[in-house]
Amino acid sequence: MTSETDSAINQSEFKNHHSKRLWFYVFEPELVGDSTVNTFELSYQITGHINKEFNPPTYEFRYYLSSTRYWKEYSHLVIRVYPSEEIKYPIKNSYEYTSHPEGYFEAEVSSYPEEMLLVSFCEKANPSNIRDPKPFLTRIIIAVIILVIIFHPFIPFVILIIIAIIIYISEKNKKKRYKKSL
């Protein structure tokens, strides 16, 4: 185990790196021995991402677990998530979570975990997706209208060029068909 001084240093380092989007938490575990099971517990608070494509919004948290592939041996991982009371419904998660009366959710993984742990919570059990294709189509229509307004003096020339290209291609195809028939 680490001393209180080491713990305080790690906390300050944690807060310093936490302000950046990419940070590492390094700790040195105390190994009991080869004949006994070594258990590690790592806990910290992470900030999430608000996904406003749902009503009400969902809160997504990501944690990369790829480092477990480098462990010499791997047998069991318990993941506990303690969400705030406002976002108490788990949705769209990497693993199946069991709710506990103490207010946390738990998942057990017996094989190597996925590359990334994704945890999503929401105020409601079934948020509705509010993403709509209409804004995309509206943007395309507006872009076409703006292009027409800006380039309207050139539209007759563009139409003539397109007609000339179509006539050229069709004449070329006629000649190819005529040569093949001979």
- Cα 133 to the chain's mean position, in Å? 20
Domain boundaries, position 74: 45-129
Average pLDDT over residues 134-153: 83
Based on the fold, state whether residues 140 and 161 are members of the same structural domain. yes
Say if CB 74 and CB 109 are below 8 A apart: no
Based on the fold, state whether residues 16 and 3 are members of the same structural domain. yes
Average pLDDT over residues 4-28: 48
What integer pLDDT is reported at residue 15 of this predicted model? 47
In the predicted structure, residue 12 carries a pLDDT above the cut 70: no
Based on the fold, state whether residues 109 and 144 are members of the same structural domain. no
Question: Which residue among 129, 155, 172 closes a domain?
Answer: 129
Count of C-beta atoms within a 10 Å radius of residue 91: 17
Based on the fold, state whether residues 142 and 123 are members of the same structural domain. no
Average pLDDT over residues 115-134: 78
Average pLDDT over residues 88-117: 79
Say if CB 91 and CB 58 are below 8 A apart: yes
Where is pLDDT greater, at 143 or 10? Answer: 143
Going by pLDDT thresholds of 50, 70 and 90, the confidence category of residue 166 is: very high
In the predicted structure, residue 16 carries a pLDDT above the cut 50: no
In the predicted structure, residue 143 carries a pLDDT above the cut 50: yes
The 3-state secondary structure of 23-78 reads CCCCCCCCCCCCCCCCCCCCCCCCCCEEECCEECCEEEEEEECHHHHHCCCCCCEE
What integer pLDDT is reported at residue 182 of this predicted model? 65
Say if CB 97 and CB 106 are below 8 A apart: yes
Based on the fold, state whether residues 50 and 11 are members of the same structural domain. no
Based on the fold, state whether residues 63 and 82 are members of the same structural domain. yes
Whether this prediction's pTM lies above 0.85 is answered by: no
Count of structural domains within the chain: 3
What integer pLDDT is reported at residue 161 of this predicted model? 92
Nearest to 59 by CA among 83, 94, 42: 83
In the predicted structure, residue 158 carries a pLDDT above the cut 90: no
> 157 is written with which tokens?
């020339």
Where is pLDDT greater, at 182 or 76? Answer: 76
